[in-house]
Structure 1
Amino acid sequence: MIPDLDSQIGISVYSTNFPGIGGKIRMSPDDFQVREIISKKKEDSISDQDGYAVYKLKKKNIDTNHALSGIFNKKGIRLKSLGLKDASAITEQFVCSGNKGRAIENFSTDKYSLEKIGYVKKPLSKKDMIGNHFKIKISECSNDLSSFTEYDKILNFYGYQRFGSKRAVTHLIGKALLKRDFKKAVELILCFTSTYDSEENTEIREKLSDPENYEKYFDQVPPQMDIERIVLKEMIDHNDPIRAIRAIPVSLRRFYVQAYQSFIFNQSLSSAFLDGENLFEVESGDVCFDFNGIIGKYVKGMDQNLALPFVGYSYYKKTRFDYQISKILQSEEISPKDFFIKEMQEVSSEGGFRQAAIHCFDYSAHETNVEFSLSRGSFATIVLREIMKPQDPIVAGF
């Protein structure tokens, strides 16, 4: 039985036959540990010669963006991360200075620590990160964890975080932007409620469903609803939905569109699997990634991983998945050209490809603890979803 939340984000299948052990994750931050893996070549290039300073950022109960802005406020240095790590975990990642010159001393707060590990000639970039290693404890589960062996048969779905987790709304906002329905996008940001949201948040969202209440309740919107406050302020001052959406940082506006693309991708993967397509092996004519992550056509005898289109305005139709994807786009009443947004070109997306199956390596399980590594862009929660088969992902700590 697929949980309702999974269906909302486009996931309608399990790809393993394992019955699931149930249980909960993240009962404490120590139960979920993540360590970033960079390429050996890049790691070997870190030296004590002058250049761009590289640090190891270890954190707990704070997300990457907030940790980096805390470092900037305290030390006046702007550091870049290779990936974002969420708050409800103990994480270890590489961060790098964008300028040559002075490095700062190691320091720590109650939520994070920063340790200088050396210098590189060129700043670290996202492509230097090859994956993450996870160490996870599953509480209150049955004792069958060691009998899960299908970690090479897991589809590469986008996980719950991509859609807002407790409030799966980001893809709906993205769709409203593609439809040029900016008023609807504002309504979704301000008023979309979820059974998992707090009573206080739900109450304020219900009040904001009437634009007459915008000014009246503005001061009651809690500070953690920072995007809502930005949008609300613009709507009170100008009553212009496009202007209100534009006030949101561009990275987040792009993320809304990407979340909708992720929803289409999840649906495409589910649909192809249900139609009996082999998603774990490449066939003649397939588009694939090689072991360096370079995209290309299937070449016999080469070690390649199957890729599925990630729909955008340059959608490539000539794959064996066009039947499923075209049907989904039709039912969504969306076409590839909609991903070019004339009124807000900065959030347009040409699309691309994404690996169909998760590459899970260094897998081991003992009692209620599981460890594994995933290549960049794959979600640990999707591996855990197949192991645990949770009835309610949010209650289970996803």
Structure 2
Amino acid sequence: MAQNPQNKDSKSISQRHQVGLERFVTDTPPLGGRIKTDISDFIVREILPSGEILSTFEDKKSNSNQNFESGKDRYTTFTLIKKNTDTIIAAKILEKYLNIPLKFIKWNGIKDHSAITAQKFSVKGNNLARLNNFEHKNIFLTKIRSSRKGMELGNLWGNQFTINIRYSIKPYDEIKEILNLWAEKINKIGFPNYYGMQRFGQHRPNSHKIGKLFLKGKFQEAIQEFLFHVYPKEYESNALFRMKLEKERNYEKGLKECPNSLFYEKMVIEQLSEELDYKKAYLALPISLCNLIISSYQSFLFNKAVSKRLKKGYPLSTPIKGDKIAILKDIKGSPSLVKYLYEGGNGWNDQNIEKAFQRERATILAPVLGYKTNLSDYPVFDEIYKEILNEEQFILSDFMLNERRLYNFEGTTRAIFIRPLNLQVNQAFITNNYPNLDPNGIKLEFSLPKGSYATILLNELRKSN
């Protein structure tokens, strides 16, 4: 029997707090509802720097018959459409199919697993013929082309989302006014640019814990958290396997018994069955995932900092004295490299900063901590982060890793709030079939700059699991 979506899920609320998601900025009543009832309820399409929005239409006719010009072309590019598949697993499937190193396959960003998504990929070398013949039940390739350039990090504007929320607490007609008020407030003040739950693990929100343990050099504890810790949302078969593996510590036997769904755990267990070296076991994972897990601790600290700012009563999207400001590349877009310190209205450039905020061309930055972060450059967040680091018993030099295969965790910055572009709120269709409307369904369409999470915007509306 389906769970009543109006019931408050205290475990879920606790899990959100565990990853630093502690504050809402809208005061509209919770509307509940469920997302991803069906994968077609969550559609994500990349927006390229040119403004092109990739299509999720599975069109073989879009594939090119062009020749690969050796001497000019060095890459094969394509749109990868996937459903019920993790981005890294999709890349691993291509790696095996093409029999090439994973490092030759490039993409921008991890897209949702339980969704239909379209994103740009590139593969080094001439792979036109093989990719045109690629077939997989959950992955489809379109617009296969030869290219002089491959995908580069940051070569993306953002993502366009089409999302249906099912089983809201009241029929759409009764909550239409609330929806309009909510959309008006979101367009005015934005929402916290938190890292979403999927950044930490949707069913096992512990990547930040593993990342912290690795950064602290506690490799055995990191692997134990990765393999053994059971979380409430896990499948029973997976939970039972974890408990048995923890009790027996027989990794050769565990490798044979490991459920197929525990794809990454199997990699770690295989390494442990060969050699009981916990650091090597962690690095047996795809390097992109190793980096993702470690950097999720940076994401956790950022979430805590934004929540603490809001707890202190500081505004989300209006600057206060000591805020570091970035001018946006375009309206509601990503931060540029043009940065200023806001001095409370009395600074030499404060009037221009205030005008930029009025025109939605500026944002407030917070550090994403690393070993090179100078907190004194961010007076407001200097105080906030020092409190958090003291609570966490963590120092910035812990981010310095002596492992050449991993990222250089020197730190960066991130906008603390975001405004959606072209936000539209309507009544959803039943299973997306026109013309039948879902009486308790809400349809949202909007775009976000790269790195921002649609689920955080949905949290502001639903305010429940």
Give 3-state SS (helix, strand or coil) of 2:367's partner: strand
The answer as to whether partners of 1:106 and 1:115 remain within 8 angstroms in 2 is no
Task: After TM superposition, give the deviation of residue 262 of structure 1 in Å.
Answer: 0.8
| 1:349 paired to 2:409 | yes
User: Hey, what does 2:214 align to over in structure 1?
Assistant: 177
User: Hey, what does 2:369 align to over in structure 1?
Assistant: 311
1:225-304 correspondence runs (5 A) = 225-283=262-320, 285-292=322-329, 293-298=335-340, 300=350, 301=352, 302=356, 303-304=361-362
1:9-24 correspondence runs (5 A) = 9-24=19-34
The answer as to whether partners of 2:287 and 2:405 remain within 8 angstroms in 1 is no
Inter-partner Cα distance in structure 2 for 1:87 and 1:212: 30
Task: After TM superposition, give the deviation of residue 331 of structure 1 in Å.
Answer: 0.7
Inter-partner Cα distance in structure 2 for 1:99 and 1:234: 31
| 1:192 paired to 2:256 | no
Which of 87, 104, 120 aligns to 1:64? It is 87
Which of 98, 104, 111 aligns to 2:124? It is 98
Task: After TM superposition, give the deviation of residue 151 of structure 1 in Å.
Answer: 2.1
User: Hey, what does 1:138 align to over in structure 2?
Assistant: 165
Task: After TM superposition, give the deviation of residue 289 of structure 1 in Å.
Answer: 3.2
Task: After TM superposition, give the deviation of residue 106 of structure 1 in Å.
Answer: 7.8
| Distance change (3 Å), C-alpha of 1:106 and 1:294 | farther
User: Hey, what does 1:25 align to over in structure 2?
Assistant: 35
Which of 116, 120, 128 aligns to 2:143? It is 116
Inter-partner Cα distance in structure 2 for 1:53 and 1:236: 37
| Distance change (3 Å), C-alpha of 1:60 and 1:233 | closer
User: Hey, what does 1:396 align to over in structure 2?
Assistant: none
User: Hey, what does 1:160 align to over in structure 2?
Assistant: 197
User: Hey, what does 2:57 align to over in structure 1?
Assistant: none
More deviation in 164-173 or 113-122?
113-122
The answer as to whether partners of 1:130 and 1:375 remain within 8 angstroms in 2 is yes
| Distance change (3 Å), C-alpha of 1:259 and 1:55 | same
The answer as to whether partners of 2:327 and 2:339 remain within 8 angstroms in 1 is no
The answer as to whether partners of 1:23 and 1:388 remain within 8 angstroms in 2 is yes
| Count of paired positions | 388
| Distance change (3 Å), C-alpha of 1:250 and 1:109 | closer
| 1:324 paired to 2:381 | no
| Distance change (3 Å), C-alpha of 1:108 and 1:345 | closer
5+ residue gaps, structure 2: 1-7, 54-63, 330-334, 341-348, 428-441
Task: After TM superposition, give the deviation of residue 135 of structure 1 in Å.
Answer: 0.5
Task: After TM superposition, give the deviation of residue 177 of structure 1 in Å.
Answer: 1.0
Larger Rg: 2
Give 3-state SS (helix, strand or coil) of 1:34's partner: strand
| 1:151 paired to 2:186 | yes
User: Hey, what does 2:434 align to over in structure 1?
Assistant: none
| 1:360 paired to 2:420 | yes
User: Hey, what does 2:463 align to over in structure 1?
Assistant: 389
More deviation in 62-71 or 244-253?
62-71
| Distance change (3 Å), C-alpha of 1:129 and 1:189 | same
Task: After TM superposition, give the deviation of residue 347 of structure 1 in Å.
Answer: 5.0
Task: After TM superposition, give the deviation of residue 42 of structure 1 in Å.
Answer: 8.3
More deviation in 66-75 or 196-205?
66-75
Task: Report the TM-score when normalising by structure 2.
Answer: 0.76
| Distance change (3 Å), C-alpha of 1:284 and 1:304 | farther
Give 3-state SS (helix, strand or coil) of 1:365's partner: strand
5+ residue gaps, structure 1: 394-398
Give 3-state SS (helix, strand or coil) of 1:140's partner: strand
The answer as to whether partners of 1:106 and 1:116 remain within 8 angstroms in 2 is no
| Distance change (3 Å), C-alpha of 1:151 and 1:99 | farther
User: Hey, what does 1:8 align to over in structure 2?
Assistant: 18
The answer as to whether partners of 1:54 and 1:95 remain within 8 angstroms in 2 is yes
The answer as to whether partners of 1:179 and 1:338 remain within 8 angstroms in 2 is yes
User: Hey, what does 2:107 align to over in structure 1?
Assistant: 81
| Distance change (3 Å), C-alpha of 1:42 and 1:133 | closer
Inter-partner Cα distance in structure 2 for 1:95 and 1:198: 32
Give 3-state SS (helix, strand or coil) of 2:266's partner: helix
Inter-partner Cα distance in structure 2 for 1:249 and 1:56: 22
Output the amino acid matched with 1:190: L
Q: Deviations over 1:9-41 (max 9, x none)?
A: 111111111212111111111111111101127
Task: After TM superposition, give the deviation of residue 89 of structure 1 in Å.
Answer: 1.1
The answer as to whether partners of 1:55 and 1:116 remain within 8 angstroms in 2 is yes
| Distance change (3 Å), C-alpha of 1:253 and 1:113 | closer
Task: After TM superposition, give the deviation of residue 199 of structure 1 in Å.
Answer: 1.4
Give 3-state SS (helix, strand or coil) of 1:277's partner: coil
Q: Deviations over 1:70-120 (max 9, x none)?
A: 445556686532232223111122223434685654866442322226565
Output the amino acid matched with 1:18: T
| 1:337 paired to 2:397 | yes
Task: Report the TM-score when normalising by structure 1.
Answer: 0.88
The answer as to whether partners of 1:287 and 1:296 remain within 8 angstroms in 2 is no
Inter-partner Cα distance in structure 2 for 1:181 and 1:6: 25
